[in-house]
Each structure stands twice: as structure tokens, then as C-alpha cells.
Chain A
Amino acid sequence: MKTAATLEFRHVRKEYDGAPAPAITDLSFAVGAGEICVLVGPSGSGKTTAMRLANRMLEPTSGDILLDGRSVMARKPADLRREIGYAIQQIGLFPHQTVAGNIGTVPRLLHWDRRRIEDRVFELLDLIGLPAEMARRYPAQLSGGQRQRVGVARALAADPPLLLMDEPFGAIDPINRERLQNEFLRLQARLRKTVVFVTHDIDEAIKMGDRIAILKEGGRLAQYAPPAELLMEPADRFVEDFVGADRALKRLALQRVRDIDLWKAATVRVGEPVEQARAKLAAADLDIMLLVDDAARPVGWLSETALQGERVRAELRSSAEPVVELDDILRDALADLLMAETQYGPVVDGSGAVAGVLSIEALSHALTTEPDDLPSPTELIPGEDAAG
């Protein structure tokens, strides 16, 4: 089995018995291997229906769904489902089985031998960051967040090439939801599964999706695009409203400081000839010099009096704060600037050396121009290294 499969919907229609209108009218889209495709849209737009068609929890009225180029209709539903991870908002852990029993569900259905199942359970517990002792607990003895993690581990147990997730973090408080989202993205950076992720929260969609499918009533695809494109060029009024009036701000969450054109700073050291310093200033984008130490780390902004002698003296006008990092998300960097009530701040690289200057002006310029290469969500997880 491959680690990630492609998924394609071809003119899929789904009518529920007795319903006046089809839940899905004519849906076509394709998800690349290893991508997170988020289905988002208002309540009743057919997100859950679309997702459940993929593993034949529902049968399409017409059209076809291809998993790795092969019609799911040609497969036995139970066999197909064992190959597709399935995680839902209500989790549906088996209360009569321990955490280990729950995680081992699909491997048991696939008749793995005991040893292999056991190893896999502990591997997954480690992957989702739960201590190994939890293996013997029952779901009733876990917190909501822990249960949700176990639900994800269970869905991943047999290493399925496709993962279906229906509002998996919907019932979790905001702080834990964010943590779970980040954990999942970190996991995904390693696993590179194909994921269909359902949510009705556009912010979650923007955060999690490589591509977002916005559905409107009747399962009609309003737009299918990467998050930045959705925010830059909403296809119609519906998408515009759905992504919200603050879509320009939302884009800030999609880019890192390193992704935009930074200002060039005049960095000078104490004892440097003033003439040389002034030459640097002429080539810089702002008319104030940044004093750095021997390791090129920012010390502070120089005052005019520092330049009155032959050589640069350590006389500061203001401290270097806020210092932002190349890896910071633009939203956080902007917040830092606003909090410090300043128009600009030095940007440092991983070693702490100055790499440029971020200014409000540079930020607003970035927001109004098309980015050429945007990072994928797994590269935007705050805190830890994306490589996990």
C-alpha cells in the first residue's frame, strides 16, 4: 500500500431518499497525494455527505469516486474502509476497549499478528504524544483532547493512504483545538497522508488546508484553491462573504516574515568609521542606523550623537525591540510591532544575526501583491520545527 493516495470526485451526485433536493448536485474535484484538502462551507452544504461518499459510508446516486485512480465502487465497502482512516467529531471510541484496544482496531480487522499490533499501538501513542501507560486506560478515563488524539491514532493505525476527518477538533475548547491542529500538522509533515478534512470554520480551513474546497448549498463547489488564492481572489460574492471581510488580515497567518520583501538595514558596529556608516545608510531603506554586536545581533537604533566623532559610538536612540524572526508568521510579527508602538523592527535569522528590517509599510506592500510561492500549512506550525 502506498503512503498516500490520490482522490478524485467525478460528477458525483447524492440524493437522500425523500429529500426534496440533492445534498450533492454535481461535484468534481481532485486531491493530490499527500495533500490536505479541506471541505468547508455553511451547515447543510454537504461536506459530511461528500466525505462519507469517499469510503462508501454513503453510496453516490451517480458519478464516480476514484482512489488512486481506481473506482471505490469496485471495492467491497468493508475492505475499502479498512484502507481509509476515519475520524469524526464525536470520536466514537469504543468505551469497552482500552486505548490500546481502540488504536489496534483496524490492524485486528486486518489480522495483523499480536506482536505487530502491540508495537504499532506504542508507536502511535508516541506519535500523538500520549504516555505509554495510557494504553491500559479506558476512554472514560481520558480528557476530551486525549480522546481526540486517540481517535486520530486509531484512524492512522493501519497506515492508510487516505484519511477522512469530519470536524475532528470541533468539540474541543479553542486553546486545545489550536494545540491539536498544530500537532496534526506536525504529524502530517512526517506522514504526508492524503487528508480530506471537513470543517465549517474558515480559519481552521485556512490553517489546515493545502487546498480548500468551499461548498455552498447542494454541495456546489464555489471555489477550489489554495488558501492564499482564496483570500486574494475569491471567485464570487459567496466566497468573499464566507472568507470574511478580514481576509487581508487572514493572509497574514499564511506567510512568514521570510516570505516577504524586507527592508535593507544599515547595520553598524561600535568603532566603525562614521564615513563608512553613512555610506551604508545611503544604501539602506530607512534613514536610521542599527547598531549590532560582533555576532551581528541587533543592539539598538543609533542616535545622531553617536555619529559625531570619527568613529561610531554606542549612543542609542532606542532599543532594538521588537526583534522578529525570519520564521515568525506575519500576523505575530505585526502584533509585535503594534504592541511596541513602532513602525519597524529588526529581523533576525536563526543565529540571531540581523537579516533586514520589517516595517508596517513592507507588510502592507506584501498584502497587496501576489505572493509567488506560499508555504504549505505544515510549514507554518508555530513553536516547534515543522520537520517535527
Chain B
Amino acid sequence: MSGLLVLAQIVPRNRAGHQTCVQRNGFCPRWIVDNIGNYKEPFLRHVELTVLAVAFGFAIAFALALVAHRRRWLVGPITAVTGILYTLPSLAVFFLLQPITGRGVTTALIALTAYTLLILFRNVTLGLDNVPAEIKDAARGQGFSDRQLLWRVELPLALPEIIAGLRIAATTTVGLATLAFLAGAGGLGEPLFDGGEGINFQSNVVVAGGLCVLLAIALDLLLLGVQRAASPWQRARG
């Protein structure tokens, strides 16, 4: 999140508060209680941006990984392209996209989705590659078709890696989505940098930042729960 703090210094808008605690720029529980309602909408938007970006990203990366699973030579090129998307600064993407998609959720979603592709593609591919050869051999020898092998053996066995990818993608997207407001898409970045009492106001940072952290943890635990529920065999060692 250090990148966010650097950015925050570029856009400080410190408006004077009306309470002493606020004037002192302290940590003000009363202010938080009074203003918490203002965070609801940015928070929900933040959830929406994160969930949709990861969902779209997963759909695309998953499809790409399945294609590359059959045609191995595609792994290199796909990794290269998604790698470039991963390194492009989101801000640059926002500005590049603005002439085409304008300001708003679409622009932000495209940038955030593009960012998740590398992680998700790599983890799905890795998961499929890690399925032991003798298990695939046994499955084929038993009479599984390629498709049955994929859906009944390879993907279930790749699930832990796939979900590990989703967890990384989800938590990083929560952080990155704080910049979505720059594309006019709102989210917790708005109160964090731009709204309320500004970045230099501690109580605001605590609430907006805290909500980000909570969201990241919640999504992470949710995915972990899914993984546990979907692969009971993983706990059955010993």
C-alpha cells in the first residue's frame, strides 16, 4: 500500500474540521460514529468493483488456461501479454481507456480485470501442470475421455492452486480498487483521498483504510472456506 500513500500526497485536500478532535487531526471515535454512514456507498461500490473484476478476470484467465492446456505453445505468449497488462500502471490504463469507455465503472473494471489475468492464468496453469502424470495415466487407462479427465480429475486436483490464485487476485484488487475513483468509478478511494476530511485526517484514513483491510480479509476467508469445503481430501492426510 506504500504506492497509495505516495499517491495520497499528490492529492491532499485537507479541509478544516469543525470539532476539536478533528482539528487536532486526531483519532476521533465520535466523528467516526457520526460519519460512518457516508462510507456505505463507497464501500459497496468497492465490493462490486473487486468482485466483478476478479470474476471477469477469472472467467477470461480460466478460458485461456484451458485453451493453453491443450496447446502448450500458447502458454508463453499468454503469459507475456497478461504480464504486460499486469505491469501497466492502472492510472495509465484509466487515461488510455477514457477516450474509448469514458469515465466510470466500465473503465475501472477493465483496468482492474486486466490486472488479475496474469495471477489467475498462472495459477490455473500451474495447478493443471502439477497434477501427477501417473494419476492422468491411470485415468486415461481406465477409459476417461480428455474432457472427463479435465473436469473430473485435473481441475479438482488443481483447485487448491486455482483458489490460491483467486485469493491473491482478490486481495490485490481490493487495494488497487482504491484508485478506481480516479477513473470516476468511486469506491473507498474516494473518501480515502478525496472525500471527508482528506488523507491527512487520521480518523478518515482509519475508517476507509480499515474497511479496505476488512474487505480483503473477508474475501480471503471466504475463498479459503470455499477451498476447504471443495477439497476435503486435502485435510485427509495422515
Residues of A within 8 A of B (CB): 55, 57, 78-82, 86, 88, 90-98, 105-106, 109, 137-138, 140-141, 154, 164
| Contact (A81, B236) CB under 8 Å given A90-B134, A95-B157, A96-B156 | no
Q: Which residues of B contact A91 (CB under 8 A)?
A: 134, 138
Q: A137, B138: Cβ atoms under 8 Å?
A: no
In the complex, A92 Cα to B139 Cα: how many Å? 8
Q: Which residues of A contact B136 (CB under 8 A)?
A: 92
Q: B143 in the interface, Cβ–Cβ < 8 Å?
A: yes
Name A137's closest neighbour in chain B (CB-CB): B236
Give, as a whole number of angstroms, the nearest-CB distance from B85 to chain A.
Answer: 32
4 nearest interchain CB pairs? A92-B138, A82-B143, A90-B134, A86-B141
Q: B231 in the interface, Cβ–Cβ < 8 Å?
A: yes
In the complex, A88 Cα to B133 Cα: how many Å? 12
Q: B176 in the interface, Cβ–Cβ < 8 Å?
A: no
30 pairs of residues in contact across A and B, judged by CB atoms under 8 Å: A78-B145, A81-B142, A82-B142, A86-B141, A86-B142, A90-B134, A90-B137, A92-B132, A92-B135, A92-B137, A93-B135, A94-B138, A95-B135, A95-B157, A95-B233, A96-B153, A96-B157, A96-B233, A97-B233, A98-B233, A105-B142, A106-B142, A106-B143, A109-B143, A109-B148, A137-B236, A138-B233, A138-B236, A140-B233, A140-B237
Q: B140 in the interface, Cβ–Cβ < 8 Å?
A: yes
Q: Which residues of B contact A79 (CB under 8 A)?
A: 143
Among A86, A88, A95, A109, max chain B CB count under 10 A is at A95
| Contact (A109, B142) CB under 8 Å given A88-B134, A88-B137 | yes
In the complex, A269 Cα to B48 Cα: how many Å? 100
Name A81's closest neighbour in chain B (CB-CB): B143
Give, as a whole number of angstroms, the nearest-CB distance from B130 to chain A.
Answer: 12
Q: A93, B138: Cβ atoms under 8 Å?
A: yes
Q: B144 in the interface, Cβ–Cβ < 8 Å?
A: yes
Candidates B139, B141, B143, B236; contact of A94 at CB < 8 Å: B139
Which of chain B's residues 202-238 have a Cβ closer than 8 Å to chain A? 231-233, 236-238
Q: B138, A88: Cβ atoms under 8 Å?
A: yes
| Contact (A81, B156) CB under 8 Å given A96-B231, A140-B237, A141-B238 | no
Give, as a whole number of angstroms, the nearest-CB distance from B158 to chain A.
Answer: 10
Q: Which residues of B contact A80 (CB under 8 A)?
A: 143
Q: Which residues of A contact B135 (CB under 8 A)?
A: 92-95
Q: A78, B143: Cβ atoms under 8 Å?
A: yes
In the complex, A53 Cα to B145 Cα: how many Å? 18
In the complex, A57 Cα to B136 Cα: how many Å? 12
Q: B142, A154: Cβ atoms under 8 Å?
A: yes
Q: B134, A92: Cβ atoms under 8 Å?
A: yes
B58-72 CB mask vs A (1 if < 8 Å, else 0) is 000000000000000
Name B230's closest neighbour in chain A (CB-CB): A96
Among B139, B141, B156, B238, max chain A CB count under 10 A is at B141
In the complex, A137 Cα to B233 Cα: how many Å? 9
Give, as a whole number of angstroms, the nearest-CB distance from A97 to chain B.
Answer: 7
Give, as a whole number of angstroms, the nearest-CB distance from A205 to chain B.
Answer: 22
